[in-house]
């Protein structure tokens, strides 16, 4: 089964994430999408990053009963900091029947050469790249493993949502309903 791995902090998950995952399922050969919720990086300032389990729960709520999408905490129990190549090795061992691919923005493909063992990733996994404003893909644009997906540009960010909530804006239509309800009940991002 061909499974796309969508890594992110999802702080919070928003409709742009879900729309992109939906697009990948309907317009590529990916059969499933796993949202890999990234744990807090101890080298980065925590600031407004919610606890790992709270962000995972929001992704679960956002996905709801969609059987082609899954929220994953796989990186929560791996050594920190998380390196994609290590996560891929762990997943391949745990789920040998899956063929894992990465879902990346064109901004990430331009900096892929800075990732740990990026050559291994490129040699063993397809990368489904969606457009981000101002990023054309750099040197890896034409690599055989890089598959460009003409997904719609979504100019929604988690930062925008956090700032809006902090400023008492009603952004309920930017976050899937069940995740929004949870977020509001828990008073996330209000301060």
Stronger pLDDT, 47 or 189, i.e. the higher one: 189
pTM attached to this predicted model: 0.94
Lowest average pLDDT, out of 57-71, 149-163, 166-180, goes to 149-163
pLDDT of amino acid 82:
84
Question: DSSP per residue over 63-108, as a string?
Answer: HTT-TTEEEE-GGGGSPSSP-HHHHHHHHHHH-TT-EEEEEEEHHH
pLDDT-based confidence at 45, cuts 50/70/90?
low
Structure confidence at residue 80 (pLDDT): 83
Considering the chain, what percentage of its residues have pLDDT values greater than 70? Answer: 96
- And the tokens for 141? 């644009």
Res. 41 pLDDT band, cuts 50 70 90: low
pLDDT at 137: 86
Banded pLDDT at 22 (limits 50, 70, 90):
very high
- CATH architecture assignment, domain 2-155: 3-Layer(aba) Sandwich (3.40)
And the tokens for 3?
């499974």
Kindly give, in sequence order, each residue whose CB lies less than 8 Å from that of residue 155, ignoring residues fewer than 6 positions away.
133
pLDDT reported for residue 81: 82
pLDDT at 149 over 70: yes
Least confident range of 41-45, 53-57, 86-90, 98-102: 41-45
In 3-state terms, the chain is what percent helix, strand and coil (to 5)?
Answer: 40, 15, 40
Burial class (CB in 10 A: 0-12, 13-18, 19+), 101: buried
């Amino acid at each position: 089964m061909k499974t796309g791995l969508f890594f992110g902090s999802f702080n919070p998950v928003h409709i742009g994430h879900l729309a992109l995952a939906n697009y990948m399922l309907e317009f590529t050969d990916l059969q499933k999408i796993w949202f890999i919720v990234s744990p807090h990086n101890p080298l980065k300032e925590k600031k407004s990053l919610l606890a790992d389990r709270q962000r995972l729960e929001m992704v679960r709520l956002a996905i709801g009963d969609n059987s082609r999408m899954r929220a994953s905490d796989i990186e929560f129990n791996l050594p920190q900091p998380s390196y994609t190549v290590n996560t891929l090795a762990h997943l391949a061992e745990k789920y040998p029947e899956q063929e894992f691919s990465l879902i990346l923005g064109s901004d990430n493909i331009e900096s892929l050469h800075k990732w740990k063992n990026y050559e291994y990733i490129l040699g063993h996994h397809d990368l489904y790249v969606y457009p981000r404003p101002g990023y054309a893909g750099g040197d890896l644009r034409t690599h055989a493993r890089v598959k460009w997906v003409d997904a719609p540009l979504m100019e929604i960010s988690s930062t925008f949502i956090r700032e809006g909530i902090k400023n008492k804006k009603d952004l309920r239509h930017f976050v899937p309903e069940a995740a929004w309800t949870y977020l509001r009940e828990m008073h996330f991002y209000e301060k």
